[in-house]
Amino acid sequence: MRVYAPHPGAYTRAVTAPRVPDGWLIAAADPAGDALDAAVEDLVGRLGAARSAAAGVAGAPPLGLRAVELAAASAHYVCAFEGPAFLVLDPGLRPVASRHAVLRHAAAGLLWEQLEGLVDAGRLRALAAAGGRLLASGLEAPAAVDAVEDAVQAALRVASWREGPLRAVASMTQVDVVSTLQERMHAAYVRFVAATEPLVERQDALGEDLVAALRAFEEAAALAGAGERLADRIGLMLPACDEGAAEMAGVHLTPLT
């Protein structure tokens, strides 16, 4: 038992996914610089137009609104009103009449809300900081050092992803992106656990600073979700999202066929 680790759940063992080339990750990345500014400005304009269109249909402004993109399709807009009541607008800002389309976009929006709660940039950066302190505390096992370094870099990539201004859009392509990035953090953490098993057996001989740093890193990893695959957690959420989408379709403001 890893006595210095009060979070045994952090050691969830899972078969990691095959390595994925970075090409498609780069293609799906947010723009940068002036292009990012233009994309954010465009998004703000589209959300404003969707809000006005929704208010025109409902007779009152929506309480909340989310742009939802399925794969390579143009964004639809899921709008919430008091009641509760909902309205899904197509890319032309017209009410969607297809129940199937409403269900798909509503479920995607609900999934994104859950994902926002699972991916915590602050906890990911805390994991990276704890990893830096561990590396500075005298950790010498080469495999463990490599694993910590990889986990830190992956955690910072996921945190940067989460903090991007375009995360206001519920993009199913971006679900694939963050799942892939988090998979790399998880895989690195699994390697760290395996590489540090020998330290557990002789932890009485380790320095206090190193033991404290190991404990802090593992606690931070547990809070950041590094011990579990994000893809697995997403899979568990899908039935509830589908159920919630059906409820939303049941109170859609315009008729569905």
pLDDT in tens, 85-126: 999 999 999 999 999 999 999 999 999 999 999 999 999 999
The three state secondary structure string of 26-62 is HHCCCCCHHHHHHHHHHHHHHHHHHHHHHHHHHCCCC
pLDDT band of residue 24 (cuts 50, 70, 90) is confident
* DSSP summary character for residue 16: P
> Hey, CA dihedral for 166, 167, 172, 177, is it positive or negative?
positive
pLDDT digits over 170-183, tens only?
999 999 999 999 99
Domain boundaries, the chain: 35-116+239-250, 119-237
Tokens read off for 196: 């540090």
pLDDT of residue 205: 72
Residue type, 57: V
- Note the pLDDT tens digit of each residue in 69-83: 998 778 999 999 999
Q: What is the dihedral of CA 100, 104, 110, 111, to 10 degrees?
A: 150
Mean pLDDT of the chain: 90
Strands (E), the chain: 64-69, 76-81, 85-89, 170-171
Cβ atoms 12, 227 nearer than 8 A:
yes
Predicted confidence at residue 253, as pLDDT, reads 97
Candidates 111, 73, 103, 79; CA nearest to 93 is: 79
Instruction: Evaluate if residue 157 carries a pLDDT over 70.
Output: yes
- The confidence band for 220, taking pLDDT boundaries of 50, 70 and 90, is very high
Tens-place pLDDT, residues 38-50:
999 999 999 999 9
Q: What's the pTM?
A: 0.86
- Of the candidates 147, 127, 135, 123, the residue with the CA atom closest to the CA atom of residue 197: 147
Q: Which of 26-40, 89-103, 190-204, 217-231 has the lowest mean pLDDT?
A: 190-204
Give the model's confidence band at 6: pLDDT under 50 very low, under 70 low, under 90 confident, else very high. Answer: very low
The Cα angle at residue 234 between residues 64 and 22, in degrees rounded to 5: 100
Q: What is the pLDDT of residue 2?
A: 52
Q: pLDDT at residue 229 above 90? A: yes
Q: Which residues sit opposite 78 in a β-bridge?
A: 66, 88
